[in-house]
Amino acid sequence: MKSICLSVVVLVFASAILVSCMNVIELDPRDEGQRIMVEGGIMQGAGPHQITLRYAKAIFDGGDFIPAENAVVQIAGDTSVELLNEIAPGIYESTSLFASESETFHLNIVAAGEIYEANAVLSGSAAIDTLIFFHPPDDTIFGFPFVYPDSVRHIKIVLENAIVPDAYIEISYFINGEFFSSENLALTESFGDLPTDTLSSEWISFFQGDSAAVEIRTIEKGYYEYLQAIQNYPSNISPFGKPSPQLPGNISNNAFGYFHANGFSAASDLVE
């Protein structure tokens, strides 16, 4: 009986020593190969141009992010160089860099002792000439005839110049000052009638009296493929989780993301 009690005392004493020697370890969210996420790029014109830097916390909660603060972010064009200001945690902005068509831009980032680089060329813009609103013709939905209400309008976007094959664009739609939706189009030979100076969307509906606005960004093929890869990723899995997926990108040093330079055009009108 004494030997049993003695063993218990020794075990309790050893446990107390072990507990007293333990330290609480706080893991850095970048541990175990966490990858930085680089988002943003150059827009044709005076900007502002923004770059967002974040770390993927995949080992904790499957793809959440934390900002990469206090980084050094620089963008160099053909004729100018600018050091971006951190205007919010992980968000860096250029306010004086003017981006011209066909100009090449180099991104250089130093974050947590690591260097990340990328290049992008600003492609030509798809300049908008006119927005045309029209009442859509009768349709068939799930085999049943459908008549649109008189107040519904669809849109045609008339461009100043025809778009030729192998062009990639992103169209954003705004209704009454609020972002409504966007779509990415690959205008290749399989798209249909090209070259074309008219774009339309049958699934965007406006109503008479709405204030409508459209923004068109011309994007390079690699950025289009990056956006499509994220869009088509399984909805129950983060595309930035772990193990790290093979997403397309153009950032060095095994970083997520895509640095891009976009042509830009916008137009707005009252829907009648």
**Are residues 63 and 137 both part of a single domain?**
no
Give domain status of residue 5, yes or no.
Answer: no
Burial pattern 93-130, b for ≥16 Cβ within 10 A else e, equals: bbeebebeeebebebbbebeeeebebebebbebbebee
The SS3 of residue 117 is strand
Burial pattern 187-222, b for ≥16 Cβ within 10 A else e, equals: beeeeeeeeeeebebeebbbeeebebbbbbbbbbee
How many domains, in total, are found in the chain? 2
* Torsion sign over Cα 74, 91, 180, 228: positive
**Are residues 208 and 256 both part of a single domain?**
no
**Are residues 79 and 148 both part of a single domain?**
no
**Are residues 100 and 114 both part of a single domain?**
yes
Give domain status of residue 24, yes or no.
Answer: no
Please give the single-letter amino acid code of residue 234: P
**Are residues 50 and 86 both part of a single domain?**
yes
| pLDDT tens profile 63-80 | 567 899 999 999 999 988
Please give the single-letter amino acid code of residue 170: E
Give domain status of residue 225, yes or no.
Answer: no
Give domain status of residue 155, yes or no.
Answer: yes
**Are residues 91 and 145 both part of a single domain?**
no
Give domain status of residue 20, yes or no.
Answer: no
Give domain status of residue 8, yes or no.
Answer: no
190 φ, ψ to 5°? -80, -10
State what percent of residues in the chain have pLDDT above 70. Answer: 78
* CA-wise closest residue to 213 among 271, 262, 168: 271
**Are residues 164 and 241 both part of a single domain?**
no
Least confident of 97-101, 114-118, 160-164, 222-226: 160-164
Structural domain that includes position 173? 128-219
**Are residues 119 and 152 both part of a single domain?**
no
**Are residues 204 and 244 both part of a single domain?**
no
User: Does the pLDDT of residue 137 top 60, yes or no?
Assistant: yes
Residue 163 is predicted with a pLDDT of 79
**Are residues 147 and 81 both part of a single domain?**
no
With beta carbons less than 8 A apart as the criterion, state whether 43 and 122 touch: no
- pTM comes to 0.73
207 φ, ψ to 5°? -125, 150
With beta carbons less than 8 A apart as the criterion, state whether 255 and 38 touch: yes
**Are residues 134 and 207 both part of a single domain?**
yes
| pLDDT tens profile 167-206 | 888 899 999 999 999 888 888 766 666 678 888 887 889 9
d(CA 138, CA 100): 44
Give domain status of residue 13, yes or no.
Answer: no
Q: Pick 162 or 62 by higher pLDDT.
A: 162
- Whose tokens are 């330290």? That residue is 23
User: Does the pLDDT of residue 24 top 60, yes or no?
Assistant: no
Give domain status of residue 116, yes or no.
Answer: yes
- What CATH number is attached to the domain comprising 107? 2.60.40
**Are residues 80 and 139 both part of a single domain?**
no
